Amino acid sequence: MSTENGVAPVAQNDHTAKEIAALAEKYRKSEELADLVQLRDLRLQGGKKITQQTDSAWRRETETETPPNLFAPGSGELPEVDYRDLSAEAVQSAMYHHGALIVRNLFSSLQTQEFCKDIDTVMDAGQEYFVATKKDENVERSADSRSAFTPAPLNVDLNAAAFMGNCGAVATFLSPKVSHRLFERFDELGLRELLQAYFQDESCVSYYKSVLRRVEPLPNPADWHQDGAFMGKGIDSLNLWVALTDCGAGTNSPGMDLVPQRLNGIVPPGGNGAAFDWSVSAKTVSENFADVKIAQPHFGAGDAVFFDHFNLHVTSSSPKFTKPRYAIETWFFSKSRCALNQIPAYW
Ligand SMILES: [Fe+2]
């Protein structure tokens, strides 16, 4: 992966980043659950020190140069690269001109299988924890169960809200083991440097928006949305959504439908039969993008897509989709242009 774009990556060298690196090294040697949990907690506690420092509407507005358009996707398609060709320039170009970038083969088949197994374990361990908590039982949990799921050092409501077992989602940070393995994988891929070059700033990650997913096919079509509709202004984000099982076009698991266009603002949500005041109805999408063929990509297990808070998308829906879909979604922000209401954390 290349990160050359004329800007030297900024090293993460503040005190918290150094502490995290030291603790990660300690855990690598000890493999002790206590070190793993402390590492996860430090990432979250460090995030409390991150404060948004700008109220500019969007950083691209201050850019003087338009990035070259490196892609020419067909109608209803998004730009794509193999993970070996992933670079900050590719992300910048695709985001600026097309609003998303598909990355093929980001995770190997072995990695996707392991993460799927992990997600099942995390869901079970979370369920066990919350059922016991509701009944006020003091259940003795094994080290495996605690490494799979341990409440975060945030208030209880935030833990419960982040465990959305019924919707097939759980905050990645609630799993000390999976969050650490995921961030290690991202580091191996060179994502830290790529994000620094893209944001021109260090990156942080959202506790709230970063989730492990195991979703059943939708009984009814969902509304569309832009995640920026509930994130506030002055932010710069990049979401990395990785499919862990084959999904989307040509498969029997729901993928994602996306408007294959760069959007620079929020399409007014609500109205036209929208289910929520932050969601956008299919009618509004077809009215606003009458000439645009919606992208309904095929994702193989391990394929991923980058998009940001302005991308308009929806979980795919079709009677053909009969099997659950596993995925990991991770929202990154520029540290100085981060959505504070999404609870920033170190990674
Ligand atoms: Fe979304």
pLDDT tens profile 100-111: 999 999 999 999
pLDDT exceeds 70 at position 212: yes
Which residue, 123, 52, 34, 20, is CA-closest to 343? 52
Q: How far is the CA of 312 from the centre of ligand 1 (A)?
A: 8
Q: How far is the CA of 122 from the centre of ligand 1 (A)?
A: 22
pLDDT in the model for residue 12: 53
Neighbours of 198 (CB within 10 A): 25
Q: How far is the CA of 226 from the centre of ligand 1 (A)?
A: 6
Cα–Cα–Cα angle for 327, 329, 335, rounded to 5 degrees: 165
Q: How far is the CA of 14 from the centre of ligand 1 (A)?
A: 31
Domain regions of the chain by residue span: 15-345
pLDDT in the model for residue 63: 57
Q: How far is the CA of 270 from the centre of ligand 1 (A)?
A: 16
Q: How confident is the model at residue 181 (pLDDT cuts 50, 70, 90)?
A: very high
Q: How far is the CA of 18 from the centre of ligand 1 (A)?
A: 32
Q: How far is the CA of 306 from the centre of ligand 1 (A)?
A: 11
* Residue whose structure tokens are 């891929």: 189
Neighbours of 248 (CB within 10 A): 22
Q: How far is the CA of 224 from the centre of ligand 1 (A)?
A: 8
d(CA 192, CA 215): 28
pLDDT exceeds 90 at position 294: yes
pLDDT exceeds 80 at position 168: yes
User: Which of 28-42, 160-174, 311-325 comes out lowest in average pLDDT?
Assistant: 160-174
Q: How far is the CA of 157 from the centre of ligand 1 (A)?
A: 22
Q: How far is the CA of 221 from the centre of ligand 1 (A)?
A: 15
pLDDT tens profile 3-30: 444 343 444 558 899 999 999 999 999 9
Fold of 15-345: Jelly Rolls (2.60.120)
pLDDT exceeds 90 at position 121: yes
**Dihedral-angle region of residue 40 (phi above 0 means left; psi in -120 to 50 means alpha; beta otherwise):** alpha
Q: How much is the mean pLDDT over the chain?
A: 90
Q: How far is CA 323 from the centre of its chain?
A: 22
Name the phi and psi angles at 224, rounded to 5: -80, 165
Q: How confident is the model at residue 134 (pLDDT cuts 50, 70, 90)?
A: confident
pLDDT in the model for residue 198: 93
pLDDT exceeds 90 at position 225: yes
Q: How far is the CA of 258 from the centre of ligand 1 (A)?
A: 10
Q: List the end-to-end C-alpha distance of the chain, in Å, as a whole number.
A: 19
Q: Indicate the residue type of 187.
A: D
